[in-house]
């Protein structure tokens, strides 16, 4: 790099006015970068999630109306998370395999109403198990291979309902290869896999578990399958294995506390990398804003730009609709 010294070089010149700042911006943010996670439940109407101010559970009967604004803003993708009634949960997560479960009915409805929106389906058993874990238990330990067998069937069930991108969030070993094989054998060769490749055992998931009703049911912790926050080299091994097994895209979760992981993954593998700005991250910004401690819109957009700067192709964020509206107004 050539020598740059003051006063010949004044870095503030390129910050002098808005037009110049836009010309030299290294990264940009648009609605194309956003995936909107939504919570769906039986019935009609909406209900706000107490630990996620402004985020709603939407009844299936009014789901099209709930999603209409996102479609109008051309948000490209929506991730579906079902609130399974307690009476439909059991130790094996049997409801995950029901072609008429809430997830599948929501997928068919949304593909009919909004065929151009890409749908992501969460593949894991925690919304369906009465113990709150992402797989089946054997002697209070989540059994890897037995869980993978069920996850493959869950993925095919979702693909048959119209899910475009299967997103396994369970962190079982070998599940990406098994799901890829299962999808291909069932004729879903173009159904994409976005792997939750580096998903950490995080304290930032609490509000999400409230939202889907699994927090009270969870027995023990998920530390035997989700990653240790102390580890970063291990994340690269996880990502490498998932790519080798057929992942089309990979995800780091949570987002903001793991920007270093996002950067390392992008630089190492040069493939589409996504981050999930999880419920706890959302709740921190929203709660601070409601106390008057932050400007919510500015803090939210700054946080989303951080993901792009770190190397993300896109971000799953509960702020997707709000962000898209702000970005549209700037055009």
What are the structural domains, with CATH classification, of the chain?
29-330 (3.20.20.70)
Statement: residue 217 has pLDDT above 80: no
From CA 32, how far away is CA 57, in angstroms rounded? 24
Reported as a single tens digit per residue, the pLDDT across 61-71 is: 999 999 999 99
Statement: residue 216 has pLDDT above 80: no
Residues in the chain: 331
CB 168 within 8 A of CB 124: yes
Query: Is 0.85 topped by the overall pTM?
Result: yes
> Across the chain, what does the average pLDDT equal?
96
Residues in contact with 320: Cβ distance below 8 Å, sequence separation at least 6, in sequence order: 34, 35, 36, 37, 70, 75
- Residues of the chain with pLDDT > 90, as a percent, come to 94
Q: Which of 57-61, 162-166, 296-300, 327-331 has the lowest mean pLDDT?
A: 327-331
> What's the confidence (pLDDT) of residue 180?
98
> What's the confidence (pLDDT) of residue 331?
74
pLDDT-derived band at 210 (thresholds 50, 70, 90) equals confident
From CA 155, how far away is CA 168, in angstroms rounded? 8
Positive/negative CA dihedral, 155, 158, 159, 160: positive
Q: Which one is predicted more confidently, 208 or 302?
A: 302
Reported as a single tens digit per residue, the pLDDT across 95-145 is: 999 999 999 999 999 999 999 999 999 999 999 999 999 999 999 999 999
> What's the confidence (pLDDT) of residue 200?
98
What separation in angstroms does the CA of 161 have from each of 42, 108, 147, 271? 17, 6, 21, 28
| Nearest Cα residue to 274 out of 255, 253, 248, 251 | 251
Which of the 8 DSSP states describes residue 25?
-
Give me the catalytic one of 199, 222, 266, 308: 199
From CA 120, how far away is CA 81, in angstroms rounded? 9
Position of tokens 């993954």?
A: 265
From CA 278, how far away is CA 287, in angstroms rounded? 14
- Any catalytic annotation for residue 308? no
Residues in contact with 34: Cβ distance below 8 Å, sequence separation at least 6, in sequence order: 75, 76, 77, 304, 314, 315, 317, 320, 323, 324
pLDDT-derived band at 215 (thresholds 50, 70, 90) equals low
Reported as a single tens digit per residue, the pLDDT across 271-307 is: 999 999 999 999 999 999 999 999 999 999 999 999 9
- Any catalytic annotation for residue 325? no
Statement: residue 1 has pLDDT above 70: no
* Arithmetic mean of pLDDT, 73-78: 98
Give me the catalytic one of 88, 253, 266, 308: 253
């Amino acid at each position: 790099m050539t020598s740059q010294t003051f006063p010949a070089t004044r870095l503030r010149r390129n910050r002098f006015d808005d037009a110049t700042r836009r010309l030299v911006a290294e990264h940009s943010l648009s609605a194309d970068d956003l995936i909107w996670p939504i919570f769906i439940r039986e019935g009609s109407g909406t209900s706000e999630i107490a630990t996620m101010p402004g985020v709603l559970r939407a009844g299936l009967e009014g789901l099209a109306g709930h999603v209409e604004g996102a479609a109008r803003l051309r948000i490209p993708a929506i991730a579906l998370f079902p609130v399974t009634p307690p009476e439909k949960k059991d130790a094996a997560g049997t409801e995950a395999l029901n072609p008429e479960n809430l997830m599948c009915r929501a997928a068919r409805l949304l593909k009919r109403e909004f065929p151009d929106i890409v749908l992501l389906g969460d593949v894991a058993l925690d919304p369906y198990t009465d113990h709150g874990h992402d797989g089946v238990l054997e002697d209070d330990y989540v059994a890897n291979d037995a869980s993978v067998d069920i996850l493959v069937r869950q993925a095919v069930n979702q693909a048959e309902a119209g899910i475009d991108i299967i997103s396994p969030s369970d962190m079982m070993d070998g599940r990406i290869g098994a799901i890829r094989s299962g999808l291909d054998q069932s004729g879903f060769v173009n159904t994409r896999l976005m792997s939750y490749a580096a998903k950490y055992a995080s304290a930032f998931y609490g509000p999400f578990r409230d939202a889907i009703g699994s927090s009270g049911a969870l027995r023990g912790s998920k530390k035997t399958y989700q990653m240790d926050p102390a580890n970063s080299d291990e994340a690269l091994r996880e990502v490498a294995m998932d790519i080798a097994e057929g992942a089309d895209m990979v995800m780091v979760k949570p987002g903001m506390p793991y920007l270093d992981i996002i950067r390392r993954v992008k630089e190492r593998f040069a493939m589409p990398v996504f981050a999930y700005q999880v419920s706890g991250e959302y709740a921190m910004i929203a709660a601070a804003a409601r106390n008057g401690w932050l400007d919510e819109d500015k803090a939210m957009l700054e946080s989303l730009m951080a993901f792009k700067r770190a190397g993300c192709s896109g971000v799953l964020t509960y702020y997707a609709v709000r962000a898209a509206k702000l970005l549209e107004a700037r055009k």
